[in-house]
Each structure stands twice: as C-alpha cells, then as structure tokens.
Amino acid sequence: MTGRRPLVSGNWKMHLTHLEAIQVIQKLSYALDRTDRQAVDVSVHPAFTALRSVQTVIDADEIPVALGAQDVHWEEKGAWTGEVSPVMLAKLNVRYVIVGHSERRQHFGETDDMVARKLRATLRAGMTPICCVGETLAQRDAGHTHDVVVGQLRAALDGVDPAAVAGLAVAYEPVWAIGTGRNATPDDAQAVCAALRSAVGECCGADAAAGVRVQYGGSVNAGNAAELLAGPDVDGALVGGASLDPDGFAAIVGAAG
Ligand code: 13P
C-alpha cells in the first residue's frame, strides 16, 4: 500500500431511517475514538433521506468521517423525476460518491455508459467517485474475471483526466461475494486489485496507477478484514452489512490502519 492512505467505506444501502442513521453515526464516533487507527480515511454512505441528518452530526461533533452517497445522476438539474444531482450532494458536503455499484447495474439497468457519465459528473462537482466493478459467478467460472472488471473500469475512465484518476477510488466487488458471506481469497483480492491498478497505468499513466485507491468489497467483516486488506494493492474496503454495526465497522477500520 505504498504511500496511499487506505479508505474504508460503509455502504449502508437501503437501511436506516434518518433517526436510526443519527444513532449509528454517533455510536461510530465513539467506537472510532477507541480504535487504534492510523492514517485511514473513513466514509459512510447513508440513504439520500439520511444524508442531511448525518452531515449535521458529523459537522457539529467534528467526527473524522467523510460523508458519502450511494449514487448520483449525471445532470446538474432538470426533468429527471426521482433523481439527485451532483450539485445537490456537493452542497451537503458529500465527499465520496459510489458509482456503478453492482446492485444498480443488476437491478436498475445501469450501463457502462451511465456509470461513466456519473463518474465524470461527480468529478465535475468536486467530489471523489468510488467506481465499483465486479464479475458475476458465471463470469468467474468461465475464467473471465480480469477481462470483465478491467473492461468495466476502462469504460468508466474513458476520457477522464489522468490527474483526476490519481485521486479516485475503485472498488473491486465480486458480485457473488456481496451479502453472501463468501469472500474472494486474500490472494484473489490482491491479484484483481493489482490487475485494476495496471489497467489504470495503461490508460492513464504511472502517476494515476500509483495514486488510485483500490478497495475490496464483498462480505468484509471484523473477522476477515485484516487478511483481505493485507495485499499491497488493496487500499481498504467497501463494506455493506458489517458497516451497520458501529463496533464491527470500527474494528474493520482498525484492521486497515
Ligand atoms: P456486503 O459487505 O454486505 O457483502 O456488501 C458489499 C457491498 O456491496 C458494499 O458496497
């Protein structure tokens, strides 16, 4: 993890009302105070309805956690019923935006082109994208993991300024490992994260490859985080279920530091 700060992100998905989210961020703040962590960036990604409440608590209590969103639209404004724009998120001090999560690709028909637009819109609004890529079990069994994830990443980064790529995060989340209790092995996680970094090098140059942070995601928990994050190309984790438990999430942060 040469010179890169790990980033541990909690994707709360469609959990927690704004009132529950306030309790979780407060408990997380206490849990992180007790955690021995060094030089780890932490973000939480509440549902849109809870962003403002969580932001207020983070700001008021000066909690060392960045606010994140789970999705964004690519336009600044317009007739897009139900969507949320990058400008709206940036005004709430949102720092990180997940784009291209496999649940959006699978259930909401998000294409590589839409992911690419969302990524560029996030950067334009001054926020950092966390660009998710990952293969299905069928693709893995067919031996296509590297081609699939590198293809998704190349499509997402098409036309993006290499200097911006150095600052962004990529999350390798094998679809078959999400919410299933199954993980990639630490060696697999390292190998795919390394392949993603080399792909960044090919499209965007050595500085971008050295700077980009590549997270692993998929059934990460307090018990397996240290192993999964040990690889030199694994720069932290994108955590779903286990991020809803403040103590467990703080332990993952500790394991990354
Ligand atoms: P789980 O940690 O619940 O497997 O979810 C991973 C994920 O999708 C994070 O974005």
Site to substitute for ligand 1 among 238, 243, 244, 245, most atoms within 8 A of C-beta: 238
Contact yes or no for 68/95 (Cβ under 8 A): yes
Contact yes or no for 208/2 (Cβ under 8 A): no
Q: CA 95, CA 109: separation in Å to the nearest integer?
A: 25
244 half-sphere exposure, CB direction, 13 A CA radius:
12
3-state SS assignment for residue 257:
coil
Q: Does ligand 1 come within 6 angstroms of the Cβ of 10?
A: no
**Domain 7-256, architecture per CATH:** Alpha-Beta Barrel (3.20)
Q: What is the largest CA-CA distance in the chain?
A: 50
pLDDT for position 2: 61
Beta pairing partners, 239: 10
Residue 89 CB contacts under 8 Å (≥ 6 apart), including other chains: 51, 69, 72, 97, 125, 127
Per-residue model confidence as pLDDT tens digits over 109-166? 999 999 999 999 999 999 999 999 999 999 999 999 999 999 999 999 999 999 999 9
pLDDT for position 57: 98
Structure tokens at 99: 């784009």
Break the chain into its structural domains and give their ranges: 7-256
Q: CA 207, CA 193: separation in Å to the nearest integer?
A: 16
How far is ligand 1, taken at its centre, from the CA of residue 245, in Å? 13
Q: Does ligand 1 come within 6 angstroms of the Cβ of 239?
A: yes
| Catalytic residue ranges | 101, 173
Per-residue model confidence as pLDDT tens digits over 48-68? 999 999 999 999 999 999 999
Residue with tokens 């700001």: 59
